[in-house]
Amino acid sequence: MPYSMTGFARSEQKCDWGSICCEVKSVNHRFLDIYFRMPDSLREFELDLRNQIKNSVSRGKIECSFQLQVNPGKAQGQSYDSEAAKAVIEAAETLSGYIQNPASINPLDVLKMPGVSSSVQIEPAELFEAAKAALSETLAQHQQMRLREGKEMARVILQRIDAIAEQVTIVKTVVPEIRDALKQRLLDRLEQLKVDADPDRLEQELIYQAQRMDVDEEIDRLETHMQEARNTLKEDKPIGRRLDFLMQEFNREANTLGSKSQAIESTNVSIELKVLIEQMREQIQNIE
């Protein structure tokens, strides 16, 4: 099934030190273009994170952003043990009862006591693993959204292919009728002019006109392109470029049908084919 190049996903990874949030947005693009928004602490891992995205997406303009949220008390790289702090304060208050005019207890002094506070450092390896996990979950959600949109686009394209098949059926029906009508008009014209036409010359003219109107090759190619498009839509890999090429081939046959048209019916078919092809092309521009 095809994947859309448009998508959005967001996930959050909880950690002991806080959390990391990852967002991925994507729109259509001819190639793969990845842009990051991240804190400086993650910059050293950008190449690895970029490769992780490349393993999930092959085309599109991707914007990936990371946000870190550090738990209160750890924002400055410090953590403290509240129970140990309470024990120090209680001991200080008890000692204050033995001292005349004791000084007030300074919280900063309490934090400096052994066992009360300790420095907290987020290990780079731990941060990288959290970022990878958040990105992996986000890409999985992003993939599902792109798949849902891709299925809808495939449904629309298949509808247009069925409509093209109906137009091809019309061509198969009207071309013999047009050919017979053209022959009859030629005979009627000769009769009006009271001209005795050379049978061989008349036959050559009819053959020439029939050759000018012969669209069997174009019909065969259109039917081949329709089957190829249906088969391509079933493939589980990037198919946007291939479908875009098929639209060029569809359009080529539609133009040839128009140039060979000898009646309003076949001209209308050519115009309708071009409309349907353009509608498919609009959908395909957003397929990976």
Domain regions of the chain by residue span: 78-119, 150-284
Instruction: Judge contact between 279 and 160, C-beta under 8 A.
Output: yes
Closest CA to 171 of 134, 221, 136: 221
Q: What mean pLDDT value characterizes the chain?
A: 83
pLDDT band of 186, cuts 50, 70, 90: low
**23, pLDDT greater than 50:** yes
CA end-to-end span of the chain = 11
Q: What is the mean pLDDT of residues 77-88?
A: 68
240 vs 195, residue with greater confidence: 240
For 100, counting Cβ atoms within 10 Å of its Cβ (0-12 exposed, 13-18 middle, 19+ buried), the class is exposed
Q: Looking at residue 94, what is its pLDDT? A: 77
Closest CA to 63 of 72, 81, 74, 50: 50
Q: Looking at residue 3, what is its pLDDT? A: 94
Q: Looking at residue 76, what is its pLDDT? A: 46
Q: What is the mean pLDDT of residues 76-88?
A: 66
Q: Looking at residue 119, what is its pLDDT? A: 46
For the ranges 86-95, 153-162, 191-200, the one whose mean pLDDT is highest? 153-162
**6, pLDDT greater than 90:** yes
